[in-house]
Amino acid sequence: NWNFSDNKELEIKDFTGIFPDNYSREKLLGEIASEVYNSLEKCLNKDSLRVIIEQNIPNVPNRFSAISQGCDFFIKNILQLEGDKLVFNSQPLFQLALGLKIYYSLENQTPPLNSEGESLWREYSFAAAIARRKRRIQYVLSKFEGYILEITKSVKNPETFSSSATLAIIISETGSSELAKFFIKYLSELSFRPIRYSKNRNLISSFAFAHCFVLAGNEGFDWFYKEYLDPMYPLDWSDGEVAASVLSHWILISNFSITAEQKVKFSKLISAIKSINLKLCEHSCAEVCLFPVLAIVSPEKFAFSDLVSLYAKNLLSTILKDKAKKLLSSIYITNKPAVLDALNRVATEDEDREANVATFWLELSKEAPSIKILHSAISCLDKYPYMRSELETRFGAANFQSVLYWYTFYGKYKGKLTANSAISLYKKGEHNMFLLGRGLSEGFGYYRVEEVEKTLQSLLQNKGDEALYWLFDILSEDNDSYHFFFYAEYWNVILQKLMDSENLHLALFRQCIKFLDSYTLPRNSEVRYKIKELAIKKPQYKKTLQESLNSLSKKLRINSARMLFSCFPGENTLVVEIVINSVTNYIHDTHGGHEWLRFALRLSLGESLISHIVTKIETFSSTSKTFALTLLLHNKYTLNNDLYKQLIVGLLGEGRIIGQNWGYI
Strand partners, 87: 80
For residue 85, which phi and psi values (nearest 5 degrees)?
-110, 150
Mean pLDDT of 262-291: 78
Number of Cβ within 10 Å of residue 368's Cβ equals 14
Per the CB < 8 A criterion, the answer to whether 315 and 324 are in contact is: yes
Lowest mean pLDDT segment, chosen from 127-131, 240-244, 462-466, 571-575: 462-466
Lowest mean pLDDT segment, chosen from 97-101, 481-485, 646-650, 651-655: 481-485
- Which pLDDT score is estimated for 481? 44
- Which pLDDT score is estimated for 97? 95
- Which pLDDT score is estimated for 114? 74
- Which pLDDT score is estimated for 200? 65
Q: Domain-by-domain residue ranges, the chain?
A: 155-302, 477-568, 589-665
pLDDT digits (tens, 9 = 90+) for 645-664: 888 888 887 766 666 544 43
- Which pLDDT score is estimated for 660? 52
Lowest mean pLDDT segment, chosen from 342-351, 397-406, 575-584: 342-351
Share of the chain above pLDDT 70, in %: 89
Per the CB < 8 A criterion, the answer to whether 235 and 289 are in contact is: yes
- Which pLDDT score is estimated for 376? 87
Distance CA 422, CA 434 (A): 11
- Range ranked top by mean pLDDT from 387-401, 456-470, 576-590: 387-401
pLDDT digits (tens, 9 = 90+) for 555-592: 899 999 999 999 998 888 999 999 999 888 776 655 56
Per the CB < 8 A criterion, the answer to whether 402 and 413 are in contact is: no
Q: How far is CA 456 from CA 422, 428, 432, in A?
A: 10, 15, 11
Number of Cβ within 10 Å of residue 320's Cβ equals 25
pLDDT at 447 > cutoff 70: no
Binned at pLDDT 50, 70 and 90, residue 665 comes out as very low
Mean per-residue pLDDT of the chain: 85
- Which pLDDT score is estimated for 74? 92
Residue from 272, 186, 262 nearest 233 by CA: 272
Mean pLDDT of 378-398: 87
Mean pLDDT of 237-265: 93
Per the CB < 8 A criterion, the answer to whether 350 and 375 are in contact is: no
Reduce the secondary structure of 223-246 to three states and give it as a string.
HHHHHHHCCCCCCCHHHHHHHHHH
Query: Residue 44: helix, strand or coil by DSSP?
Result: strand
Number of Cβ within 10 Å of residue 322's Cβ equals 12
pLDDT digits (tens, 9 = 90+) for 539-551: 999 999 999 999 9
Distance CA 31, CA 42 (A): 14
Distance CA 38, CA 114 (A): 9
Residue from 392, 311, 395 nearest 345 by CA: 311
